[in-house]
Structure formats: structure tokens, C-alpha cells
Chains A and B, each alone.
Chain A
Amino acid sequence: MRKEEHWEFWLYIAGQTPKSILALENITKYSKEHIRANYTIEVIDLLKSPQLAEVAEIFAIPTLVRKIPKPLRKIIGDLSNKEKVLIGLSIRPIITDGK
């Protein structure tokens, strides 16, 4: 059941740009609203650790990576389209959830 469920997001940014800030706000909001289980959001600033860009195969900023649960999912952009983000991350919206 849900007790094992754990969500882990990594958000790749390059400095505090408006797009990145917006993306962080969005994913935080969606997670709060729709994920009942534990979740963590880690922000990685590629300006500070540029070597991670190649390792994580990042080319666009911001990029949100769903590390857990598997499989890996990637969404690029400021995450402003809620519906698309939820589908992209396979988060079932809470209103229709739990039935």
C-alpha cells in the first residue's frame, strides 16, 4: 500500500532565475496537494556543480527529474501546466484518488 511509497524529485537549475523559482514553487505546490506519501524535493544548482549536468543528462533548465519511484521521468520547463506535470510524473490527482 501507500506506506512504502516515497517520492523523490530533483530539480536542476542554473542560478535563481525566475523560471527556476517558478518551477520550484509549482512542484512544491503540486506535491503538497496531490502526494500523500513522503516526498522530497532536492534542488541542484548546476552553476555550483557543473559536472552533474552531463551525468544527469541535463540540457534544459529547469529540468525536474523524478528519481523515485522508478522509472526515471523528466520534465523540462517552469512546470506551469499542472495537468501536464501530473500526467508526466504519474501523480494521480488526489480528488479522484483513493477509490
Chain B
Amino acid sequence: MRQSNTIFSKTPTGVTGLDEITGGGLPKGRPTLICGTAGSGKTVLAMQFLIKGITEYNEPGVFMSFEESAKDLTQNARSLGFDLERSIVQKKLKIDYVRVERSEIQETGEYDLEGLFIRLGHAIDSIGARRVVLDTIESLFSGLNNTAILRSEIRRLFQWLREKGVTTIITGERGDSTLTRQGLEEYVSDCVIVLDFRVIEQIATRRLRIVKYRGSTHGTNEYPFLIDEDGVSVLPITSLKLTHTTSTDVISTGLPGLDKLFDGGGYYRGNCTLITGSAGTAKTILASYFALNSCRQKEKVLYFSFEESPDQLTRNMLSVGINLKPYIKSKLLLVHSSRPSLHGLEMHLLSLHKYILEFQPRTIVIDPISSLVTIGSRGEVSAMLSRLLDMLKMHQISALITSLTHAQPINYNAMAEEAISSLVDTWIKLRNEERNGNRVRSLYIEKSRGMGHSTEIRDFIITNEGIKILNADSVTQQSGNGAEKIHQFSGNGSKRKR
């Protein structure tokens, strides 16, 4: 076409993540086609583009709807927290519902869509609109017979919009073999975005892909996105690079006995720590220590619990002397529980991302990550974890992740461990083994990037005052005889399972 090879300016959509993968937004003053199956979120995305334009960039917008009446749109937008009425009153937004009812209209002879042009032109001029949405212009084809006229007029409309210099989103329903039923992608050559809504193993995932963006580089992957009470958010997870800065700050593990095993006296800030162990090896307790310590430093902690509800967690931790309640009350600690099967993996990642952005914690705990593994394939899990950890590192958030492994070395269940172990900076292994007729808990540091650490395997016990790590002497003295050691401490309090 006639465009020169200058760098195009872009119009930010204000949609979380979308501006990142498009390198700044949609092509300014040109039309963008957003196509997808029914219910894939086209209208919501388009509406959000207008609303954000009004609220964040002071760009008035026109929404020309061919499917939903202004009333329906207003109602739907309200459920996403957008108050359209106010914007309309303020002359920042104009909704025009173009009703094309086949049964009410006769066609005879030649006509054009000049009426539509005039309507749209008038709407744009009346509020000085910079943004326009046409949702869904293909509805014209079901209302009118003369497709030849429609095609040439729609082509003319897009050209006209370009000349008007308004940034436009045109939505289109996905066709069988084409991106849109009427092949609108032929007319919109600037930017085409496809939305997809898939259900795999009963779990629904929305995805977004930029098929084409003339004159601009863009992310080419499929990006998962989420529609919730705040509208659309896209997670540009794979665009992350290994460029995060690192900290030399050391933070305590929350357990003095464990701190001593690290030469630096704890974890590095912004590090990711993995704690693995079989059932009942006190993973959650160790995680809670870490959370508690962070709270004591007045640093916010976000605790994702995939197995226990917040109440259950606080009760169970109280039984080993960890009182989380005051910190939940003072809002230093936020426990977020959800079922792994609630969403697909990507959705979990997205919601983690959203919570992290909202709550702005310095520390997060994911307990346990292995629950998520049950819902995804190996490749997915590994990809998801690397994205998550990259994101945490970028924000300099210290993370502690627990993962359940089986006591016996069963290969198939080492999945989470394998997927994650190369990504984490510190790895603590917990064990619960049988020695001389007793179950003895022990821990050791498998790895600790950038910090020397003890190589000892330390036994520990759980009392109602918490975890006691037994000193190395007793281990060396009594190696192979854990039973005696337990007796030493049995007076201290009842032993507990997690």
C-alpha cells in the first residue's frame, strides 16, 4: 500500500499486557481487526479499549454496535466496572446501535451505506472522537442481501476511517476457513488479532494472538488472557528476559537453626526457594516460618494455598506455635486459597500475577506447586513455572515454593521437582524416613546458588513450639540412631504430624 516505511505511532489500548506485546498499542489512526469465536471476549476488549481511552488517555470514543443495544452494552459494561452512562453524559463516549432487521427492510435496486458513514461521522465529530469500535459490522451481512454492495461499502468504510485518522477496532466472528466470516481480514491490512476460547480437559482457557501487525514487531505467541471484574488482562509471559537485577540482601528463613546452615545466614532477597518433601515432612510449616519472618520485618506476604483454606492454615500453624492471625488482620499477610482445578495452568498464573500486582508483596509463598502440576502436562508446567519465576524475579519478590514428592523414588511423580529444580536458586529437601522403628524427619540443602551452605543432613522434630533443628553434633554422634534422639526431646512436647 501507500504507507512509507516510517515508524508508526501507536495508540495504547490500556489493556494490561496487550500494549506490551504490541510494542505500545494498536496502529494509531488505522483500523485493527479483532476476530474470534462467539463469546471469546471481542466486545469486552473493544469496550475496554474505548473506556481506557477515555479514562486514561483522554481520547473520546464512539462505539457503533450492530448487535447489542446501548442499554445492553451499558449493563454489560457495568458488570466490568465501567460506567458508560457517565462518559456519555460527559460527551466522552457515544454509543450508536445500528439495528438491521431483515424482516423490516426491503431492498430494491442500488444503494450504498452513506447513511452509516454520516451517522458515524456525526458521532465522531460531535464528541471529537479519537477511537472507534465497530462491533460487529458483519451483522450487516445477515440483515441485507446484496453482499456485493456490502463488501465494497465496508472496504470504503475502512478507507474512510483511515482518512479520518481515528484508531478503530473492528470485531469479526471467526469463520470456518477464514479469520472472519466475510473475510474482512482482506480489507484490514494493518493489524489483526485473534481471540480464542478453548476447553481442554474441562478447563477453559482464553488466548490471544497477533496474526499480523504491519510495520511493527510484535509477540507472535499465543498469550493467555483473563476476563474478570476488571476486564481483560493479557499476560505477556514469554517476552520476559533474563535481565533482572539481583540483590545481595540476605533474608532469614524464619528459622534460626536453618539460617545457620547457609553461609550467608538465609536466602538472598528476590531468590526463589524450593522445599520438596513427601507428605507430612513439614513443608507448610517451613513455608509459614518464612512468611512469618517476612511479616515481622513489616514486609507484605502473599500466601497462595492450594490445599488449605486460610482458616485451616492459621489453625494448623497455631498448633505448632506459629501465629499468623495478627498479620492477616494487619493486612501484612494475605492468604489466597483456591482449588487447582478451578482454572487451567495459565489462568492460575494470570491470577497469581494479578494478585501480586495488586497486593505488591515482597514475599510470596506457593504451597504446594505440585497441586498445579496435576492439571497440566509436563511441558506446560515447566513453561508456566519459568514464566512465574521470571516475573517474580523481575519484581524482586522473594519466593518460597513447596512441592510434594513421594517418599519412594517413583519416577512419574518427580515431575514438579524436575520441572522446577533448575529454575530455583535454593532447594531444601525434607525427608521423613524410618530409622530403628521410628519416623525421623530430616532436612538438607540440595543447592544454594551464590551462597555456600552446609552439606549436612540435619534431623529435626516438630513440637508445639515449632520446628527444632537438632545440632550437627548429635547427628554425627548418633548417626544411624535417630530413635535415641527422639527420646531426648520427647519431653518437650507432643510430636505432630503436619
Residues of A within 8 A of B (CB): 12, 14, 17, 19, 22-23, 46-47, 50-51, 53-54, 57-63, 73-81, 84-85, 87-88
Contacts and interface: CB of A to CB of B under 8 A. Distances in A.
In the complex, the 5 A-B pairs of residues with the closest C-beta atoms, listed nearest first? A78-B109, A80-B109, A88-B106, A77-B109, A50-B122
B111 A60 contact: yes
Given A54-B122, A59-B115, A88-B106, 12 more contacts: A19-B110, A19-B111, A50-B119, A53-B118, A53-B122, A59-B98, A59-B113, A60-B116, A61-B114, A61-B115, A76-B107, A87-B106
Contacts, number: 93
Contacts of B144: 60, 76
Nearest to B94: A54
B104 A60 contact: no
A74 B99 CA distance: 13
Given A46-B118, A60-B111, A61-B111, A54 B106 contact: no
A76 B122 contact: no
B119 A80 contact: no
Contacts of B111: 19, 60-63, 76-78
Interface in B114-159: 114-116, 118-119, 121-123, 140, 144
Interface string B92-113: 0000101110001111111111
Secondary structure at chain B's binding surface: helix, strand, loop or mixed? Answer: mixed
A50 B99 contact: no
A63 B342 CA distance: 53
B110 A58 contact: no
B108 A77 contact: yes
A63 to B, nearest CB: 6
B112 A60 contact: yes
Contacts of B118: 14, 46-47, 50, 53, 58
B382 to A, nearest CB: 52
Interface string B162-196: 00000000000000000000000000000000000
Contacts of B113: 59-61
A75 B98 CA distance: 16
A10 to B, nearest CB: 13
Contacts of B140: 59
Nearest to A89: B106
Given A14-B115, A19-B112, A50 B121 contact: yes
A74 B115 contact: no
Contact of A59 (B104, B106, B108, B119): B119
A75 B114 CA distance: 15
A73 B101 CA distance: 12
A78 B110 CA distance: 5
A75 B144 CA distance: 11
Interface of B: 96, 98-100, 104-116, 118-119, 121-123, 140, 144
B122 A81 contact: no
Contacts of B109: 19, 22-23, 77-81
A59 B123 CA distance: 13
11 contacts: A14-B114, A19-B112, A50-B118, A54-B96, A54-B123, A58-B118, A60-B144, A61-B114, A76-B106, A79-B109, A88-B108
A84 B119 contact: no
Interface-central residue, A12, A59, A77, by most chain B CB under 10 Å: A59
B106 A74 contact: yes
Contacts of A84: 106, 108
A63 B108 contact: no
A57 B99 contact: yes
Interface-central residue, B99, B107, B116, B123, by most chain A CB under 10 Å: B107
B165 to A, nearest CB: 19
A47 B107 CA distance: 22
Contact of B108 (A14, A17, A46, A85): A85
A82 B157 CA distance: 30
B273 to A, nearest CB: 61
A22 B109 CA distance: 10
Interface-central residue, B100, B108, B112, by most chain A CB under 10 Å: B108
Nearest to A87: B106
A58 B119 contact: yes
A7 to B, nearest CB: 16
A68 to B, nearest CB: 17
A29 B113 CA distance: 25
A50 B100 CA distance: 19
A60 B118 CA distance: 10
A84 B109 CA distance: 10
B204 to A, nearest CB: 36
A53 B108 contact: no
A87 B108 CA distance: 11
